[in-house]
Chains A and B, each alone.
Chain A
Amino acid sequence: MPEMLSVKNLKIEATSYPPGEPPKVVTLVEGVSFTVQKGKVLGLIGESGAGKSTIGLSALAYGRGGVRITGGQVLLDGKDILTLDKNGIRSIRGARVCYVAQSAAAAFNPAHRLGDQVIEASLRHGIMSREEAKKRALYLFRVLGLPNPETFGDRYPHQVSGGQLQRAMTAMALCPNPELIVFDEPTTALDVTTQIDVLAAIKHAIEETHTAALYITHDLAVVAQISDDIMVLRHGKTVEYGATKQIIEAPREDYTRALVSVRQTKRDEAADQTGTQLTIEHVSAGYANGFKVLHDVSMHLPKGQTLAIVGESGSGKSTLARVITGLLPPTEGRITFEGKELPRALKGRSNDELRRIQMIYQMADTAMNPRQTVRDIVGRPLSFYFGLHGQKKTERVNELLDQIEMGGRFLDRYPAELSGGQKQRVAIARALAAKPELILCDEPTSALDPLVAEGILNLLLKLQEETAVSYVFITHDIAIVRAIADSVAVMHRGRLVRFGPKSKVLSPPFDDYTDLLLKSVPEMEIGWLERVLKTRRMESAGN
């Protein structure tokens, strides 16, 4: 087998400019070597900041703003592309090496038809004539399973769905018949039910065209389906590099083992689910323009337990949270909390009613005022609800910081000086400070790396044991549901599809949608994709 891409001892550096200090050089990637053969896929996996995208882009001899490749070799078909001049690199990019970005919606020009954009690179490089390119695009649309391949190219980017757009981008990359494709998290921004279709399409297209590929992702279960080899990266260094089978089934390093076993935690549900702390009865809600988002939703939650609301984007699960908080008053139905009906709108609720229901957001970045220190952020509910100040307040803030396993040295930091996981912990401390009885968690872990997310989930479980707080946990991730939920509500297009104790909801007989949802969640198992594609009942057509 010829080696298509061979990277030797790669070193990548960048200059950072910390405010008030002299600029310094940071090493992003060091001593990374790998090879990819024709028709094979290498998966690059790691958490954010591991350097996986940076390495992927080095295959195009490209460094994002301020990033420089300072050492090593990138051999494409035996020739070092790092030594090429501007024109030499230009003849490679988009012709011999192509790139598929994470957000196809941002990568397509909204003013041009998809077909023209797909064949643009091939025409610019003079690889084929317009007729040939169109023929190849049509062939690729078919291979990627796009609907109406003959007319698909006539559409504009806004006229097709996110999953179709991601496949169109794959077609764009495959069109000039490149020797290597770099996939940079192509399915991360998609819903699980869409992800599986795109994944299958990409896999099929790679097999058809015998191109070599680098597949970058943070999800080991995804990469296990598609790649032949896997390289695990951390802090810009190689942790483990080997065949997919070996990495998944017999990982050698502790870090890899942690990655493989993450999301495997399962918790037994509470036996007694008869209590009702929160009851939602026949709630419908919509926006002022008459667009109805929720249709007749009913569910309930016993004290001290966790209700997981599952669904894909647009299913109305976040809207339901807004209805519970009172930010969006329901048009019909009622919500009862601790035996008392909650006033519909935020304005009608007393401070005590507000205190008892707290919220944790998906993006801790935007959920905290960037100009307040941790002390102010966590301390404000204390002085607002309980009138604490001075020494007493500081003591309580310290207690809370200990509870979230962070400690007093973070008191005077700004959110910008915290890592993603730490930010989310501070947000949890802010919610805890109010001594709530119910916390609404709106996808609090979906923006975090898997290991960090697991830490947050464990923290939430620990806090539930200590304080008997209830959670309404909104998520699109079935693995999280298995890990923390007592009861589960499945939502689809603003309607409740299924509701009950976890064991009942997650076991057959299934309705079509729950079946599709459950089968779309990637599992850490080689050959899962093929197996599941054969047995799926409901086609997620249109994705």
Chain B
Amino acid sequence: MNLRSIPFSAWIGIAGIAIAIFCALFAPMIAPFGERDVVGDVWLPAGGDFLLGTDNLGRDLLSRLIYGARTTIFVALAATVLSFSLGMLLSFTAAVVGGFTDQLFSRFNDLMMAIPTLIFALVVLAVLPQHLWILILVMAVLDSTRVFRIGRAVALDVAVMEFVEAARLRGEGSLWIIFREILPNTLSPLLAEFGLRFAFSILFLSTLSFLGLGIQPPAADWGGMVKDNKDGIIFGISAALIPGAAIATLAICVNLVVDWLMKRTSSLKGGRGDA
């Protein structure tokens, strides 16, 4: 791989993600004001001291956006990575082992999917203590049911291929077959799903924050900021739209990178293009 082969669209995505991560890492250094400091009037317009204006309590919107990148990206990314690890491991095991194991995993997955995600999350989060890692874990487990479905479908397609049969005939264990034979050949659809799921995770986190079970105030997160400022829209104040735009931009950037990765991995299969 060389840098020249990266298409322009992927560069935009990489730049966007880099900026977001930079903000998250160095938030205290680049943010003009503190995350929780009330520095001015409520809902001041953009410009002057406050580049993006102030929010419903008079806190600097830009500073909160920068601090919010920390929690939002960390929680969403951790939850997505965790849900993919869990979902792919279980789904590939189900596809490779088959039989009773497959039935057990698949039916349990159906059971989980039968319960509306949001209600399930509300019940669980209301009962459990409010820790960040519990929030991440609940989001990951709920999301992994979707990953399981798609993972099992693509893995079944690969598991019947002759090179997997050849590996079985060699006497390879299930782990080798899962990680060395099947995983590399299912990356394209799963990467696509990853981009989508990451965006959904941000939205889900926002929903939970909106309902008061996500990130707890006064800590900033982009979804929570939309909620805090939503009333302003009635008065023609656009403060809610700024964190909303940040969410959309990050989701688009992630998907631009994922699209490129997908093309790159699928071209290994003999260059059959953007499958």
Please give the residue numbers on chain A whose beta carbons come within 8 Å of chain B beta carbons, in ascending order. Answer: 17-20, 325, 327, 346, 349, 351, 354-355, 358-359, 361, 363, 366-372, 380-381, 384-385, 414, 416, 430, 434
Contacts of B273 in A (CB 8 A): 17
CA distance A416 to B169 in the complex (A): 23
Chain B contacts with A in 160-187, Cβ cutoff 8 A:
161-163, 165-166, 168-172, 180-181, 184-185
Chain B contacts with A in 43-61, Cβ cutoff 8 A:
none
Contacts of A354 in B (CB 8 A): 169-171
CA distance A359 to B167 in the complex (A): 11
Contacts of B185 in A (CB 8 A): 369-371
**A18 nearest CB neighbor, chain B only:** B271
Is the beta-carbon distance between A416 and B163 smaller than 8 angstroms? no
Contacts of B168 in A (CB 8 A): 327, 346
Contacts of B180 in A (CB 8 A): 369, 372
Which one, B162, B169, B171, B268, contacts A371 given CB within 8 A?
B268
CA distance A368 to B161 in the complex (A): 9
Is the beta-carbon distance between B170 and A19 smaller than 8 angstroms? no
CA distance A301 to B271 in the complex (A): 43
Which 5 A/B pairs are nearest by Cβ-Cβ distance?
A: A416-B270, A371-B184, A19-B267, A367-B162, A354-B171
Contacts of A366 in B (CB 8 A): 161-163
Chain B contacts with A in 246-271, Cβ cutoff 8 A:
267-271
Is the beta-carbon distance between A416 and B271 smaller than 8 angstroms? yes
Contacts of A371 in B (CB 8 A): 184-185, 268-269
Is the beta-carbon distance between A416 and B269 smaller than 8 angstroms? yes
CA distance A361 to B162 in the complex (A): 8
CB distance from B163 to the nearest CB of A (A): 5
Contacts of A369 in B (CB 8 A): 163, 180-181, 184-185
Is the beta-carbon distance between B163 and A367 smaller than 8 angstroms? yes
Knowing A370-B185, A414-B268, A416-B268, say if A380 contacts B162 (CB, 8 Å).
no
CA distance A380 to B164 in the complex (A): 13
Contacts of A358 in B (CB 8 A): 169
Knowing A18-B271, A370-B270, A384-B170, say if A363 contacts B162 (CB, 8 Å).
yes
Contacts of B181 in A (CB 8 A): 369
CB distance from A413 to the nearest CB of B (A): 11
Contacts of A416 in B (CB 8 A): 268-271
CA distance A359 to B270 in the complex (A): 24
CA distance A349 to B171 in the complex (A): 9
**A416 nearest CB neighbor, chain B only:** B270
Which one, A351, A363, A414, A430, contacts B171 given CB within 8 A?
A351
Contacts of B267 in A (CB 8 A): 19
12 A-B contacts (beta carbon < 8 Å): A19-B267, A349-B171, A354-B169, A354-B170, A354-B171, A361-B162, A367-B166, A368-B166, A369-B180, A371-B185, A380-B170, A385-B170
Knowing A351-B171, A354-B171, say if A20 contacts B163 (CB, 8 Å).
no
Knowing A363-B162, A368-B163, A416-B270, say if A325 contacts B169 (CB, 8 Å).
yes
Interface contacts beyond A358-B169, A371-B269, A381-B170: sample of 4 additional A-B pairs, CB < 8 Å, sorted by A: A359-B169, A368-B163, A369-B184, A385-B170
CA distance A18 to B272 in the complex (A): 10
Knowing A369-B181, A370-B185, A371-B185, say if A327 contacts B268 (CB, 8 Å).
no
Which one, A19, A368, A380, A381, contacts B271 given CB within 8 A?
A19
Contacts of A384 in B (CB 8 A): 170-172
CB distance from B1 to the nearest CB of A (A): 9
CB distance from B217 to the nearest CB of A (A): 47
CB distance from A87 to the nearest CB of B (A): 33
Which one, A17, A20, A385, contacts B5 given CB within 8 A?
A20
CB distance from A420 to the nearest CB of B (A): 12
CA distance A372 to B185 in the complex (A): 10
Contacts of A17 in B (CB 8 A): 271, 273
Contacts of A370 in B (CB 8 A): 185, 268-270
Contacts of B165 in A (CB 8 A): 327
Contacts of B269 in A (CB 8 A): 370-371, 416
CB distance from A427 to the nearest CB of B (A): 9
CB distance from A326 to the nearest CB of B (A): 8
Knowing A354-B171, A384-B172, say if A361 contacts B166 (CB, 8 Å).
yes
CA distance A372 to B161 in the complex (A): 15
Which one, B5, B163, B170, contacts A434 given CB within 8 A?
B170
Contacts of A368 in B (CB 8 A): 163, 166
Contacts of A325 in B (CB 8 A): 169
CA distance A17 to B165 in the complex (A): 33
Contacts of A346 in B (CB 8 A): 168-169
CA distance A354 to B165 in the complex (A): 13
